[in-house]
Structure 1
Amino acid sequence: MKIARIEIGGVVKYGVVRNDYVVIINDLLRPAESGELYKLSEVKLLAPLQPQAVFCALVNSPLMLGARNKEEAREMLGAPKFFLKLPHIVIGPNEVVIAPRSGIRPEAELGVVVYKKLKYATVREAEEAILGYTVFNDVTAPGEFKHDFYYAYRRDPVDGVVKKQLIRGPHFRNKNRDGFAPMGPWIVTPEEIGDVLDITLRSYYDGRLIQEGKLSELIYSPIELLVELSKIVTIPPFSVIATGTPGYIGVEDPSEYRLPAMRTVMAVEADKVGLLENPVEVENFSN
């Protein structure tokens, strides 16, 4: 089942997508049909939900980490790493992303939508909490990360000496700008997906394919991410957990990889889930 969140006549509704139509439902969790039927071309597709929280896996692929294989990557990471995106920066299909002049890049990811609260979840509990999957674009502005760097006196773990060191700081200015969390075009329920690890993720910028990789290539699976995250914090109902992105085609060091800010279209897609497109405009702020 494909569940969409739409706007029609200024009213927001949920519906089940069937070919080129959407059938309105009364409840997201109990999708009884209301009888209302619209053509997809007649409605505006919104982000498929307004999430309570957006958790993102950091460097969850060997290529993004610079590792030779998954085994080395697991040893290097030690455990899944996470950062947050603010829920209010989530946008839907065809909404504009504003690129800072320093550049931008899409990051194709699978968004796992959970509808139950999770804390210290077992594998089975994590699986049962999944409402479905959506396409998530972890839009990043690598050139802005340097503005969160700072110097501090810290003890060097190698020699034990307190010294002035460059600290990379949080992923904030590069990750949490308005519109930097496109999501959609709908939620696809698990029975339509089958083995989620077979899904291939891709991203495009200005019509050029820049990413392609399977979820099976990620260091930690979606279920492993849910279980680990629930050990750290309570995952509230209707949260989205983004699984991490594959590397970039032909790019040796993806951490600094960026594309020029320009008026164009960026797109990310996940097989069996959908294609999510967003126009890009260039930031007009002059300071």
Structure 2
Amino acid sequence: MRFLRYGAPGEEKPGVLDKDGKIRDVSAVMPDLSGVYLGDLSSVEPESLPLVSGDPRIGPPVGHVGKLVCIGLNYTDHAEELGMPFPDHPVVFMKATSAIIGPYDTVRLPRGSTHGDWEIELGIVIGQPASYVSEDAALDHVAGYTIVNDVSERRFQMELSGQWTKGKSCDTFAPIGPWLVTPDEVGDVQNLSLLLDVNGERMQTGSTSKMIFSVAHIISHLSELMTLHPGDVIATGTPPGVGMGQTPKRFLSEGDVMELAIEHLGQQRLPVARMP
């Protein structure tokens, strides 16, 4: 199934797409797509739920995200384009949950931004608590998958000292969605195509088959460092074609439009503006 949240920012309601692609309201079954409710999505019967009228805004598909954990340098071809060695263990950093927006909202470059960049990533949504889980059992803890755009300000990330979090956590720098897709509809999560365009020009093309660390490995590894809770989101790294990997380097400007898609997971369209 394909779940989503719709409505004004901060007032989103849970929904699900029926067999005709129409939104059904899930509010009578669960108050939000968050927390413990993510562990029981299979009980939802879309055709029995009321239709949602109109054309509402689509928000991020997970509410009240506890942690937004990111994996860096996790595609062989991305590490190669940056001239960096493959890591021995997953590179882990955090992204502020206050950066989360919907898949069609506006990305706003922060004051002082000169090197805004894009990164399409497969997102994992945790549905069951995970602590010290094996790789064999790791996927049992997944509620579903989604798209994450790990928008970055490279100057903040590289030049302001400290951790990458500085360049990753600006407001609007974590568009998520449009859908939370349950594993049964995704199929082989290690064989999904990814693409990202800027102003209609293809920048990123990749496949999750090029991941250095698989989805199962990432969940297992993180569960040995911290307990993963229902509603936590993990961004699993990006394929080649980011702005700082281009020759010459290319970065986001006001008026740009990012369009990105992952096989089975939908599409995002994100206009770019500047913070006032």
User: What's the TM-score, normalizing by structure 1?
Assistant: 0.82
Counterparts of 1:66 and 1:92 in 2: how far apart (Å)? Answer: 31
Counterparts of 1:87 and 1:68 in 2: how far apart (Å)? Answer: 27
Q: Do the aligned residues in 1 keep the contact of 2:2 with 2:181 (CA within 8 Å)? A: yes
Q: Aligned to 1:212, which of 200, 205, 209? A: 205
Q: Which runs of 4+ in 1 moved over 6 A?
A: none
Deviation sequence 1:13-43 (CA, Å, 0-9, x none):
212113341112213533245631025x522
Number of aligned residue pairs: give it: 258
Following TM superposition, by how much is the alpha carbon of 1:125 offset from its aligned partner in structure 2, in angstroms? 2.8
Q: Which residue is equivalent to 2:152?
A: 140
Alignment CA distance shift 1:183-1:256 (3 Å): farther
Q: Which residue is equivalent to 2:59?
A: 46
Does 2:100 align with 1:90?
A: yes
Does 2:272 align with 1:271?
A: no
Residues 205-214 or 25-34, more deviating: 25-34
Q: Which residue is equivalent to 1:37?
A: 51
Q: Rg bigger for which structure?
A: 1
Counterparts of 1:23 and 1:282 in 2: how far apart (Å)? Answer: 35
Q: Aligned to 1:79, which of 89, 92, 108? A: 89
Structure whose residues are more often strand by fraction: 1
Does 2:125 align with 1:113?
A: yes
Q: Do the aligned residues in 2 keep the contact of 1:59 with 1:65 (CA within 8 Å)? A: yes
Q: Which residue is equivalent to 1:182?
A: 175
Q: Do the aligned residues in 1 keep the contact of 2:81 with 2:245 (CA within 8 Å)? A: no
Please, which runs of 5 or more residues in structure 2 have no aligned partner?
31-36
Alignment CA distance shift 1:248-1:12 (3 Å): closer
Following TM superposition, by how much is the alpha carbon of 1:68 offset from its aligned partner in structure 2, in angstroms? 11
The letter of the residue matching 1:266 is M
Q: Which residue is equivalent to 2:114?
A: 102
Alignment CA distance shift 1:257-1:67 (3 Å): closer
Q: Aligned to 1:131, which of 128, 139, 143? A: 143
Alignment CA distance shift 1:252-1:237 (3 Å): closer
Following TM superposition, by how much is the alpha carbon of 1:147 offset from its aligned partner in structure 2, in angstroms? 3.6
Counterparts of 1:135 and 1:256 in 2: how far apart (Å)? Answer: 27
Counterparts of 1:107 and 1:67 in 2: how far apart (Å)? Answer: 14
When the two chains are superposed, the root-mean-square deviation of aligned CA atoms in Å is 2.6
Question: What percent identity do the matched residue pairs reach?
Answer: 28
Q: Which residue is equivalent to 1:24?
A: 25
Say which SS state the counterpart of residue 77 (structure 1) adopts.
coil
The letter of the residue matching 1:192 is E
Counterparts of 2:73 and 2:11 in 1: how far apart (Å)? Answer: 39
Q: Which residue is equivalent to 2:34?
A: none
Q: Do the aligned residues in 2 keep the contact of 1:66 with 1:253 (CA within 8 Å)? A: no
Please, which runs of 5 or more residues in structure 1 have no aligned partner?
150-168
Alignment CA distance shift 1:260-1:190 (3 Å): closer
Counterparts of 2:197 and 2:122 in 1: how far apart (Å)? Answer: 15
